[in-house]
Amino acid sequence: MEERNTASEHAGHAGCFFCGTAMPVLERLWSDATQNHFRNSRIEFLKGLRSLLDDRIARLSRDERKGTSVPVE
Protein backbone atom coordinates (compact mmCIF):
# COMPACT_ATOMS: atom_id res chain seq x y z
CA MET A 1 0.00 0.00 0.00
CA GLU A 2 1.29 3.44 -0.94
CA GLU A 3 2.00 5.78 1.96
CA ARG A 4 -0.17 8.88 1.96
CA ASN A 5 1.25 12.40 1.84
CA THR A 6 1.45 14.30 5.08
CA ALA A 7 1.05 17.97 5.89
CA SER A 8 4.83 18.25 6.33
CA GLU A 9 5.31 17.29 2.66
CA HIS A 10 3.22 20.29 1.68
CA ALA A 11 5.16 22.64 3.98
CA GLY A 12 7.20 23.90 1.02
CA HIS A 13 4.05 25.72 -0.10
CA ALA A 14 3.55 27.53 3.20
CA GLY A 15 1.83 30.52 1.58
CA CYS A 16 -0.70 28.39 -0.25
CA PHE A 17 -3.87 27.58 1.69
CA PHE A 18 -4.81 24.77 -0.67
CA CYS A 19 -1.40 23.04 -0.54
CA GLY A 20 -0.78 23.62 3.15
CA THR A 21 -4.22 23.04 4.63
CA ALA A 22 -6.88 21.80 2.23
CA MET A 23 -4.88 19.07 0.46
CA PRO A 24 -3.68 17.32 3.65
CA VAL A 25 -7.27 17.29 4.98
CA LEU A 26 -8.70 16.01 1.68
CA GLU A 27 -6.02 13.33 1.41
CA ARG A 28 -7.02 11.91 4.79
CA LEU A 29 -10.64 11.70 3.63
CA TRP A 30 -9.95 10.10 0.24
CA SER A 31 -9.77 6.36 -0.20
CA ASP A 32 -6.66 4.83 -1.75
CA ALA A 33 -8.56 4.27 -5.00
CA THR A 34 -9.57 7.94 -5.18
CA GLN A 35 -6.05 9.10 -4.42
CA ASN A 36 -4.65 6.83 -7.15
CA HIS A 37 -7.21 8.15 -9.63
CA PHE A 38 -6.19 11.78 -9.03
CA ARG A 39 -2.50 10.89 -9.14
CA ASN A 40 -2.97 9.15 -12.49
CA SER A 41 -4.96 12.10 -13.84
CA ARG A 42 -2.10 14.47 -12.93
CA ILE A 43 0.33 12.19 -14.74
CA GLU A 44 -1.88 12.05 -17.85
CA PHE A 45 -2.27 15.86 -17.80
CA LEU A 46 1.52 16.28 -17.71
CA LYS A 47 1.91 13.75 -20.54
CA GLY A 48 -0.53 15.84 -22.58
CA LEU A 49 1.55 18.96 -21.96
CA ARG A 50 4.69 17.06 -22.93
CA SER A 51 3.02 15.98 -26.17
CA LEU A 52 2.08 19.58 -27.00
CA LEU A 53 5.64 20.72 -26.31
CA ASP A 54 7.14 17.90 -28.38
CA ASP A 55 4.90 18.82 -31.34
CA ARG A 56 5.84 22.49 -31.07
CA ILE A 57 9.55 21.68 -30.82
CA ALA A 58 9.28 19.43 -33.88
CA ARG A 59 7.58 22.18 -35.89
CA LEU A 60 10.19 24.76 -34.90
CA SER A 61 13.06 22.35 -35.58
CA ARG A 62 12.04 21.54 -39.15
CA ASP A 63 14.40 22.82 -41.77
CA GLU A 64 12.57 25.54 -43.61
CA ARG A 65 13.19 25.83 -47.30
CA LYS A 66 15.01 29.03 -48.08
CA GLY A 67 14.55 30.78 -51.35
CA THR A 68 12.19 29.84 -54.15
CA SER A 69 12.47 27.36 -56.94
CA VAL A 70 12.30 28.75 -60.43
CA PRO A 71 11.53 26.47 -63.36
CA VAL A 72 14.20 26.61 -66.05
CA GLU A 73 13.20 26.27 -69.69
pLDDT value at residue 14: 63
Of 72 and 49, more confident: 49
pTM as predicted: 0.51
Residue 13 amino acid letter:
H
Quickly state the pLDDT bin for 1 (edges 50, 70, 90): very low
Maximum separation of any 2 CA atoms in the chain, in Å:
79
Q: Which helix (H) or strand (E) holds 48?
A: helix 32-61
Residue 32 amino acid letter:
D
- pLDDT tens per residue across span 10-55: 455 567 888 888 888 888 888 889 889 989 999 999 999 999 999 9
